[in-house]
Amino acid sequence: MSTGAPANGRSRPPTKSAVGHAGAPVRPTARVRPTVPVTCGGTDGRFDPSHSYVRRFWVAAIGAGAVAELLRLVRAADTGEDVRLPRSLPILLKAGLVSVNSGSLVVKERLPAVPIELRWRFPPSLAAEHSRLLSAPPPSSDG
């Protein structure tokens, strides 16, 4: 396979576009995700979204991508911006970190501890650290 220019000096355009032939259906992953409004609601949690608990334990429970999208939603709710529909929305809904109300995503101002049904994903050392942290008094609001 050669990566140089053609010998005749004329370059040829690609025979197919990246999307496909004209009129061909676009792959679902190539479609633009719709934007949705995000609001804050619910302060029944224990941890501020910027607290290190969120990155340490929620990442272990639901994954780094889902936590990154959660933090993006929190920031959007604070600034009043609409965001692209998160790819991890089913995970965030199932974990109770996000809810839907009147076509808008609602994120909590304070996040709960990782529920027991997700803690099985923790390695033993992290589970022990989590238990110690939860038995300590709640953190202050300054994170």
Tens-place pLDDT, residues 15-72? 555 555 666 777 766 778 888 999 988 777 889 999 999 999 999 999 999 999 999 9
Query: pTM to 2 decimals?
Result: 0.72
Beta strand segments in the chain, E: 35-40, 82-84, 98-101, 104-107
What is the rounded CA–CA span in Å between residue 20 and residue 107? 38
Tens-place pLDDT, residues 100-137? 998 899 998 899 999 999 998 899 999 999 999 988 87
Hey, which residues does 106 pair with through a beta bridge?
39, 99
